Structure 1
């Protein structure tokens, strides 16, 4: 994807939802689901721990991020899944990963699950289906339904205390002999090396993540194998990818830095509001951090962990 991707597809200046229409007052009552809340020109969810926006700008970033990750992993998955009949993508975002799996496995039914359908396309693959649901409240599928269950980059969506139960739920819907694959990264705390501005931005963002119970200590990244083992999985494999962050890492490093910078910009407003700081001060700190990634040749860790559900027991 080209570097000007974000500049070409700007959200309207008015607060816009996924359809480009400013969301009206929700019909649901507080506590019933994902309610829109506007902050500046970004649309966030309340009553949910999800930290990033849900709007057109985030749709653009998630699609961009998908292509960066596909290049980084040299494919859409690492698990030896064979020819799955049913595939589930939990927290599917824009659905791009699921669309591509549906095209790769036309004989399979591919289901994408998320809080909202954030990208409407007139021509989804015929074997793709979207299900709106909150995975933290249980998956609306029968046990043993899927040969491949995929979940990635929910570190800013799932409270750290909820991870073991969520993985147990992924295990429940996985068919015997099927695979679960988890792809995660961590906060700036685990960037190596992390310069002073990077560390300062991370520390400034910690209280915001903590208010939603999200992982601020890198616990999840270190525990994915254990979560799968506790859920009864076997043949568990872990792969650590330390991706270059910044222009020093070539095209991929440049694109990854752009992705992380855009995601970080999206939370500068909420960070500033909680810290009682001008938003521009937080944005300036982020800019200094992104410059450090080049001068210090910083790397960002991604972890892929996959495991197989036993066929017996």
Structure 2
């Protein structure tokens, strides 16, 4: 991407971005497991009708690429396409990349550092916990700006509401919602994203698909999904302790109670993909 804007002189704070999980090896592992779960459940890395174009060779952007799991997978699958990942933290970008993949550190709240209509396909997932509604409106505008006419946009988010949750599980999620509200984040933003996309007046064929994932039951998939959820709660345990006025041991007991409750109540979580075309 020889025309990207150099923003190395811009200072920013990761706190400004509101990402709730600490960086480190445990978060890398959690992210990689999550990527595997998503790919298995959805039977692929995306839902937009882009397979044939990707095979022929297009430019693709992954916003909030994290540790590069999606890009690494896609770059190997589609060697004729170019994949660019951007994230606010660069120290965990893959050190060994394929020749058709690259990464840039930038804060998307300053805008996407690319010219108008640069990419054929723009992909973003799981930033619901990091952006306010006002920031979502800005970012969607930027996504539309850098997408080529006729190109595709796909957003994927976790629905912050479980199906068939037990009382202790519900308590953890209620407290988590309060935590995000204190940060100015709407944990149910997924329901508003299609409206935000429509309001740009530049997109068509906006579609939503969802998949339900068992937690702790339903075989290996449920086991991994629950383990991944518990690791997320464990990463944010210090915040839970403050909000609930509970000790570390009490919070551990609540998190560990997820195993029994998920099996008893047959708890499920939902992922939602929203994809559309730029006119």
Query: Is 1:273 matched up with 2:242?
Result: yes
Q: Tell me how far apart the structure 2 counterparts of residues 152 and 303 of structure 1 sit (CA, whole Å).
A: 10
Contact 1:245 1:294 in 2 (8 A): yes
Q: CA deviation at 1:46?
A: 2.7
Q: Which runs of 5+ in 1 are unaligned?
A: 1-27, 35-44
3-state SS of 1:65 partner: helix
Selected match of 1:212 from 183, 196, 203: 183
Q: CA deviation at 1:112?
A: 0.4
Q: TM-score, normalized by length of structure 2?
A: 0.90
Matches within 5 A, 1:287-306: 287-306=256-275
Q: Tell me how far apart the structure 2 counterparts of residues 171 and 120 of structure 1 sit (CA, whole Å).
A: 25
In the alignment, what sits opposite 2:169?
198
In the alignment, what sits opposite 1:77?
46
Q: Tell me how far apart the structure 2 counterparts of residues 121 and 88 of structure 1 sit (CA, whole Å).
A: 16
Q: Tell me how far apart the structure 2 counterparts of residues 138 and 33 of structure 1 sit (CA, whole Å).
A: 13
Contact 2:126 2:157 in 1 (8 A): yes
- Per mean C-alpha deviation after superposition, the further-off stretch among 224-233 and 56-65 is 224-233
RMSD: 1.9
Deviations 1:116-161 (A, max 9, x none): 1243444211111101011122100111000000001111112233
In the alignment, what sits opposite 1:241?
211
Q: Tell me how far apart the structure 2 counterparts of residues 118 and 291 of structure 1 sit (CA, whole Å).
A: 37
Selected match of 2:118 from 145, 155, 165: 145
Query: Is 1:253 matched up with 2:222?
Result: yes
Contact 2:203 2:278 in 1 (8 A): yes
Q: Tell me how far apart the structure 1 counterparts of residues 186 and 248 of structure 2 sit (CA, whole Å).
A: 23
Deviations 1:57-93 (A, max 9, x none): 1011111111111101101111001324100000001
Contact 2:89 2:105 in 1 (8 A): yes
Q: TM-score, normalized by length of structure 1?
A: 0.80
Matched length: 267
Q: CA deviation at 1:204?
A: 2.1
Task: Please identify which structure carries the higher helix content.
Answer: 2
Contact 2:68 2:94 in 1 (8 A): no
Contact 1:178 1:308 in 2 (8 A): yes
In the alignment, what sits opposite 1:98?
71
Contact 1:83 1:105 in 2 (8 A): no
Q: Tell me how far apart the structure 2 counterparts of residues 68 and 222 of structure 1 sit (CA, whole Å).
A: 23
Q: CA deviation at 1:194?
A: 1.7
Q: Tell me how far apart the structure 2 counterparts of residues 279 and 186 of structure 1 sit (CA, whole Å).
A: 27
Matches within 5 A, 1:4-43: 32-34=11-13
3-state SS of 1:285 partner: helix
Q: Which runs of 5+ in 2 are unaligned?
A: 1-7
Q: Tell me how far apart the structure 2 counterparts of residues 258 and 71 of structure 1 sit (CA, whole Å).
A: 16
In the alignment, what sits opposite 2:3?
none
In the alignment, what sits opposite 2:83?
110
Q: Tell me how far apart the structure 1 counterparts of residues 251 and 206 of structure 2 sit (CA, whole Å).
A: 40
